[in-house]
Amino acid sequence: MNKTIRWQGISIDLAETLTITEHTHHFSVESQLKGILQADSIDIRYQVQLEKDWTWKEFYLHDTQGEVLRVIRSAQEPAFENCEYIDFRLTPFTNTLPIRHLQLETGEKKEIRVIYIAYPKASLQIMRQEYTKLDEGKYFYKNFDTNFESEISTDAEGFVIEYPNLFKQV
């Protein structure tokens, strides 16, 4: 799989161009986000290294304001070891990770632990989330810690097509 995807923010002025490349033993993701966030112009680049099962190994973020964040899932970070997924708030891409990995049947739901990456002021927090497969290409997402809920539409490969009021694929 070698694929480029573009998303446009709906409630925020943000555009993302993401490229995912399949390698023999992993996937690598490179993405750029540009737009306006809280009245500030942003230009963020992030990279993710994924296992073949769509769980994360490493996340790296840097922006033009000098913000840098690197997170590695390893035994040296026991708090992160049980978090198979990351959730970066400015992209719908990270919803693809549990959707692809869990491979839920219609009507099935699963609670997961994720490392939530906030921005600006990149910070990490472990959160509980849940995904329910409603139908082919339709999922219900719930974040227990923030009480946020939304239905998400995906393509056949599990990439977000529409995240109501937040993002749409263009």
* pTM of the predicted model over 0.95: no
Could you tell me the residue ranges of all domains in the chain? 2-169
Looking at the DSSP bridge assignments, the partners of residue 48 are 29, 59
- In tens, the pLDDT along 49-100 reads 999 999 999 999 998 878 788 888 876 677 777 899 999 999 999 999 999 9
Tokens encoding 15: 């555009």
For 115-131, b/e burial (b = at least 16 CB within 10 A) is bbbebeebebeebebeb
Instruction: Look at residue 122 in the predicted model and tell me its pLDDT.
Output: 78
